[in-house]
Amino acid sequence: MSKKEANVTRIAVLVSGGGSNLQSIIDKVHESDIAAEICCVISNKKQVYALDRAQLARISAVVVDSSAYTERKLFEQALLEELKQHQTDVIVMAGFMRVLSAEFIAHYTGRILNIHPSLLPEFTGLHTHQRALAAGKKTHGCSVHFASAELDGGPLIMRAEVSVLSDDNAESLAQRVLHQEHKIYPLCVQWLCEGKIKVHDNEVFYRDQKLVEPLTWQDETNYE
């Protein structure tokens, strides 16, 4: 591995599946909207398409197979070792289907982002679109937050809403939410790399101003 370039933020992206959010971040790095380098993509599962996306972009693609470890602690130790070898500064969880322990997160305090397909704190966990429809919600969406040891917990940074249509099913709703994910996640990654967002005592600061409520996506130009 080449020596780390001075002042270049190195991003590790953790994945478990297809990696469409990974692709949105790769694209923004290539377009220089995100002033950083993706140093590696690490999957806890073998043969997922996100690894192919990484290889196509000439990014180091690594598997740390969670099923090969009998204990969570051992898996996280192996994951940490890979992150250290790649000189990681920031961790971006993009469809990573593991909850990281508080001990792991302490190694990267304030430097781990996650995105979730609901308007948190509603509908943590899986099957968020079906649950939103079943609950009769009129709005649904996605949220970016700093990661914590709690499932889909941690201080919220930004949410993006979509209207729930009368003829929506889980698949159609998921597609519209995913479109919003691809807008807000690269932006929040960019902000973290630029130091525009920070977390202190479980509170988020944007441009050194404490957020009373998470930011709401409307138009990217509102946040330049």
User: Does some domain include residue 2?
Assistant: no
**Residue 218: per-residue pLDDT:** 78
Q: Could you tell me the pLDDT band of residue 3, with boundaries at 50, 70 and 90?
A: very low
- Which residues contact residue 162 at a Cβ distance below 8 angstroms, ignoring those fewer than 6 apart? 139, 140, 141, 173, 176, 177, 180
Tell me whether residue 64 is in a domain.
Answer: yes
Q: In the annotation, is 116 catalytic?
A: yes
CA–CA distance, 89 with 111 (Å, rounded to integer): 7
pLDDT digits (tens, 9 = 90+) for 72-122: 999 999 999 999 999 999 999 999 999 999 999 999 999 999 999 999 999
The pTM of the full predicted model, rounded to 2 decimals, is: 0.94
24 pLDDT higher than 90:
yes
How confident is the model at residue 4, as a pLDDT?
Answer: 58
Domain ranges, residue 100: 9-223
Q: Is it the case that residue 44 has pLDDT exceeding 90?
A: yes
Dist CA 117 CA 95 (whole Å): 10
Position 1 in a domain: no
C-beta of residue 149 within 8 angstroms of C-beta of residue 100: yes
Q: What is the CATH number of the domain that holds 130?
A: 3.40.50.170
Name the domain count of the chain.
1
pLDDT in tens, 178-224: 999 999 999 999 999 999 999 999 999 999 999 999 999 975 545 65
For residue 164, being part of any structural domain is answered with yes
Give the model confidence (pLDDT) of 115-152 as tens digits. Answer: 999 999 999 999 999 999 999 999 999 999 999 999 99
Per the residue annotation, which of 86, 107, 116, 129 is the catalytic one? 116
Structural domain contains residue 3: no
Arithmetic mean of pLDDT over the chain: 95
